[in-house]
Amino acid sequence: MLIEFKVQNYASFNSEQTLSMLASSSTKEDFNKKNTIVVDKFGVGNLLKVAALFGANSSGKTNLIDSLYALKSIVLESLTTAEGNKLETIIPFLLKKDVFDIPTEFEVTFLHDKHLYRYGISISQNIIEEEWLYWTKTSRETMLFHRVGQKIEINQRSFPEAKDFIKKDKDLFHIEKTRETVPFISVLSQFNGSKSRKVVDWFKKINIISGIDEFVFKDYTIDLFEKNNEFKSWALNILAALQIEDIKIIEVEQNFPIEPPVNTSDEDLKNAIDALKKIVKKNKLKEKKVEVIKKVSDDDKTYSMPISFESEGTRKLIYLLGPLFDTIKSGEILLIDEFDNKFHSLLSKYIINQCQQKNSPNSQLVITCHDTNLLSKELFRRDQIWFVEKNPKHESELYSLLEYKEHYTRKGNSYSKDYLTGKYGAIPLFKLFESLKEMIDG
């Protein structure tokens, strides 16, 4: 479970910003307990099941999601090629004279396998400046290793898996078998280091998708509809509200996509295309088509139609059910950028409530959205609502609704009115609207 994520000097984030999944311990926030996960260990009381990020276009919401994806990629993919440098994909905050005045840093604190871990990495000019791993077994945090460049300090008692990868030179230990562009944690996990393996395994539980393009997770959901009866039953229960009786997956043979020009005299071209056709026919290449089954209320007959006949919102929901089910049942962490895109407000609320009421003890959801109808006490606690806004220096800043203490006792169930009037910031610039009004009015 994610406890906290910090990012610095990455994309639109310059100064350190923190997203916390810690539930507030204030008695004034003591409602909607179904939205929290009870921990009561390591000084952690409760964690949030869902966090929602609001903000104007280009405020930095997507960059926050991307920053956690960047950290995951560094940890999991830095060893995939011998010569590649995954750190070259890291872009610092560019709107300043010296983009390397402070390093790019990521740090994540999480619970996994009954222990608390804190892992971080500091990068400058495509080189790892620092890397650290701490853990808490009972109540006190203990350093496992702290790397500075290629020098390292380790806890030999609690982290013996590192001993074969370091060499002592006088009073200092130096890293061996690890390039300056590769995380030490990634190398150790490849050799089945017990604690490093657990850290890497936790990163594999982070799933990040975009709510704009559902085709990224389409195949995964189709596969679940075919092979997982539990998922299909769960999904059809949700889709019943859209008058969908069933989902049918059929396989059709692919037509050969290329035909020679009608008037071509190029025999080599004709022969090549004929050969490719034979290969396609021999291997019987097929593609999966999704059909939606519906039943008319006064007719026992069912009607089947291609999913392409459904609205964009319905198609997105159907394909999104796979990742949501996996998160709810498997105790994983799902981040969805542009979650509410193509969704009606009531559908968005329904999905969020599903994740808060029926999830496994360890699953969490982090979303970015624009729909102000979701800013409701009935749906979210105040500690679940986050805002992203750019300051005059074009730096993205992240803050929680909890920071607005004057709204503890706000009457009514909605925060959207205060948000839209600018009391929380993180909304489109009023100056833009004023300029447009002047242009329209002449």
Question: Do 303 and 247 sit in the same domain of this protein?
Answer: yes
pLDDT one digit per residue (tens) for the chain, 442 residues? 999 999 999 999 999 999 999 999 876 666 678 899 999 999 999 999 999 999 998 999 999 999 999 999 999 999 886 667 899 999 999 999 999 999 999 999 999 999 999 999 999 999 999 999 999 998 899 999 999 999 999 999 999 999 999 998 887 899 998 999 999 999 999 999 999 999 999 999 999 998 887 778 899 999 999 999 999 999 999 898 888 999 999 887 766 555 655 555 677 777 777 777 777 666 666 778 899 998 877 677 888 999 999 988 899 999 999 999 988 888 899 999 999 999 999 989 989 988 888 777 789 999 999 999 999 988 999 999 999 999 999 999 999 998 886 555 455 667 887 787 777 876 655 555 555 566 666 5
For residue 100, the SS3 value is coil
Same domain, 222 and 307: yes
Q: What angle in degrees, to the nearest 10, is found between the helix axes of 312-330 and 229-239?
A: 130
Backbone angles phi, psi at 97, to 5 degrees: -65, -45
Q: How far is CA 16 from CA 209, 220, 224, 265, in A?
A: 24, 35, 40, 66
Same domain assignment for residues 317 and 228: yes
Instruction: Give the CATH number, domain containing residue 171.
Output: 3.40.50
CB 308 within 8 A of CB 181: no
Q: What is the pTM of this model?
A: 0.87
Q: Are 435 and 323 within one domain? A: no
Same domain, 143 and 35: yes
363-396: b (≥16 Cβ within 10 Å) or e: bbbbbbbebbebbbeebbbbbbbbbbbbeeeebb
Residues 321, 337 within the same domain: no
Same domain, 28 and 56: yes
207 three-state secondary structure:
strand
Between helix 215-227 and helix 312-330 the angle, nearest 10°, is 60
- The residue type of 24 is S
Domain boundary among 288, 311, 330: 330
Using the 3D structure, point to which of 275, 304, 330 is the last residue of a domain: 330
Same structural domain, 3 and 119 = yes
3-state DSSP helix/strand/coil percent for the chain, to nearest 5?
35, 30, 35
pLDDT at 283: 66
Asked if 199 and 305 sit in the same domain, the reply is no
Q: Does 160 share its domain with 297?
A: no
Report pLDDT for 46.
Answer: 93
Residue at which a domain ends, from 310, 330, 350: 330
Could you give the number of structural domains in the chain? 2
**Packed helices 229-239 and 215-227: angle between N→C axes, nearest 10 degrees:** 120
Judge if 88 and 188 occupy the same domain. yes
Residue-level pLDDT at 440: 67
Q: Residue 161: which domain range?
A: 1-205+333-442
- DSSP summary character for residue 413: S
Contacts of 326 (CB under 8 A, 6+ apart): 207, 220, 224, 332, 334
User: Which pair of structure tokens corresponds to residue 158?
Assistant: 């609690």
Q: Looking at the structure, do residues 36 and 144 belong to the same domain, yes or no? A: yes
